[in-house]
Amino acid sequence: MRYKLSDQYPKKRAFITGAGSGLGRALALALAADGWKLGVADIRQQRLEEVCSLIEELGGQAFPFGLDVSDKDDYARVAKDMTGHIGIDLLINNAGVGDGGPFVDYSLANWDWIVGINQMGVIYGTKYFLPGMIQQGGGHIINIASAAGFSNAPMMASYNATKAAVISLSETLYVELRPNNVKVSVAMPLFFKTNIMESSTASEEIKHISNLLVATSNLEAETVAHKILTEAGQGKFRIYAPRKSRTLHWFSRIFPNLFLKLKLMGGKNREQFEQRLEKKYAKMKRKG
């Protein structure tokens, strides 16, 4: 499929973090099929090699970068290499981890870890690639946040806070960078089929509920990637997937007090919620 982004940026140069799996991989492969030159970054070398092979098979060009997005010096080196040798039109700040637990038990070391990846990784990427975009007269930044950034479910304080920060940063830059012809979009999906909790330090109970939410979702990473690239090309700032994410966001903004009361009620019935998820998952398994 040809995306409008390809017409807007005919040199077709993109950099994607967390490209070795999940949504990052889906985004990379979608752009590869449209002939993009892709700087793909991931902390896991084997996954990076696998996605590069797939990119080449689809007709794209792959430039792999081993990168820990929370390491600002390493990121500065990678961004300099990417900008100097390939260039940049589209930056997708995708790398992220899921985690959770009671705030009172959640260690400061874990806060440093998740903020470093989910929040500072986005800031570093934007900081290092933005000057090149401004100098050449334009570009596009897509930040991958989450519906968690506005729904703020209990037991997920660290994840919620980092994704809220990404939404806030994106909205700030959307207006600030307009005179420089640098566009900004932020994606706020609900749960979809991905490995977001793979590196989680959360309790087995929280991991179990999160994995059930992923497993019972009908939303695939490829569908989310297609929606993001399509709507970013249309110039949309907020990108929701699925439609329920948009409904949830606007409900939280129009009826904030009611939204909070409903969350309080939901917190009292966590066991019932988990049981419903278990039943839904079992039903899906039976259907194959």
Task: Check if the beta carbon of residue 94 is closer than 8 Å to that of residue 16.
Answer: yes
CA distance 79 to 73: 10
Burial class, 191, CB count within 10 angstroms (exposed 0-12 / middle 13-18 / buried 19+): buried
Residue 281's alpha-carbon distances to 150, 163, 191, 222, 235, in angstroms, are: 26, 27, 14, 21, 37
Q: Which residues are catalytic?
A: 159
Strand partners, 188: 240
Nearest to 235 by CA among 183, 179, 180: 183
> What HEC string does 220-261 produce?
EHHHHHHHHHHHHHCCCCEEEECHHHHHHHHHHHHCHHHHHH
Q: Which token pair is 7?
A: 């017409």
Tokens 């040798």 correspond to what residue?
A: 85
Q: Which DSSP helix (H) or strand (E) runs through 277?
A: helix 270-287
Residue 102: cis peptide before it, omega within 30 degrees of 0: no
* Alpha helix positions (H), 22-102: 22-32, 45-57, 72-85
